[in-house]
A and B are shown apart, each in its own frame.
Chain A
Amino acid sequence: MNAGWVIFALIAWLGGWTLNEWLVRQKTGNQAVARVISLAVPLIFGISLLAIWEGVTRGFNVPTVLLPPPSAIWERIVNSVPILVADFRQTFMKAVLIGYVLGCGSGFIAAIMIDRSPFLKRGLLPLGNFVSALPIIGVAPIMVMWFGFDWPSKAAVVIIMTFFPMLVNTVEGLAAATSMQKDLMRTYAANYWQTLFKLRLPAAAPFIFNALKINSTLALIGAIVAEFFGTPIVGMGFRISTEVGRMNVDMVWAEIAVAAVAGSLFYGVVTLIERFVTFWHPSIRSG
């Protein structure tokens, strides 16, 4: 046991806590200050969490196999940038992005097509909802068998995982335009496509973006887990499963850090586009 590090962890814990308690009690009329505080509080929490992690793992000499300290993970990230970049390219740029675009695109087109038939809508919607709750990830071994070890099989898993949330949400969104608005379009003598593009798709945008956000996480999970079933010797899922086998836990954490950053950025980009496209929606206007 190393007393210095333990005390460091304790100080980080108490310091972060009191600082946050003090910060949230501040009453200020200044909007800019309030904004800074609301950004600083979670940041302080995150930093003190990292500090506690560092202090506890070093202070109690936790074996690195169990939990490496953050500094060791950072060191590993810096030292193995080429490997991480290659894995990122294989998993994210190929499997995730291609699968995501194809899955969301086909879900969207399928929703537009079944929208014209109430019969199909009633038949497919319950099924779509049902499939969304299933462990679809299980099709990964089948896809690996069909499409081989390289990225197409992972993209196929991603397509299947992202298709149904997109389908269900788009169909729901297309029903979001009120009958009053549709009547207005009729009085304008708008045809089906004009109504679709000028009224119903914009009205459906919040739902579609909801699906895009859900899918951004699902796509990354699908691609990584599918790699557990067989890959060429590159890819984030491959790296995680092999380095775990070799007990190189710091490498695994480095890969997870990359996945976390990639996932958050992906989500963030979708959210930014959403803010830009659906600026009229109450949930964005007020925030």
Chain B
Amino acid sequence: MTNEISKKILIVDDEAHIRLLLQQTLEDLEYEGVEILSADNGTDALKTVQDQEPELIFLDVMMPNIDGYNVCRMIRQDLKMKDVFIVILTAKGQEYDRRLSEESGANTFMTKPFDPDEVLELAKKVLNV
């Protein structure tokens, strides 16, 4: 563990097993001082983003109350957080969904079931660890 301020990843998904899979995929980064946070709905996600200011967010789309696209828009527009890297992670992989993802302000788009190696590589690249 380093003394630097830790980098943070937020996992947002209403399905517990997806959160667990992502946590375990990314856990190697914890040895690099990365903190892994999670939220199971859009409201908690926004609150965590505001409080913890993560550098990277894996964001599910289909969640109760506020969906992932809207969470993404709010992060960009209401919280004015332009630098956080947002990955939309969804079971839908159509061109239409990709466009919605881009329009909502997400940086990239991944489909479930995700490739764990691809997720880890992306996290390492974004966090520069």
A and B bind? no
A-binding residues in B (CB < 8 A): none
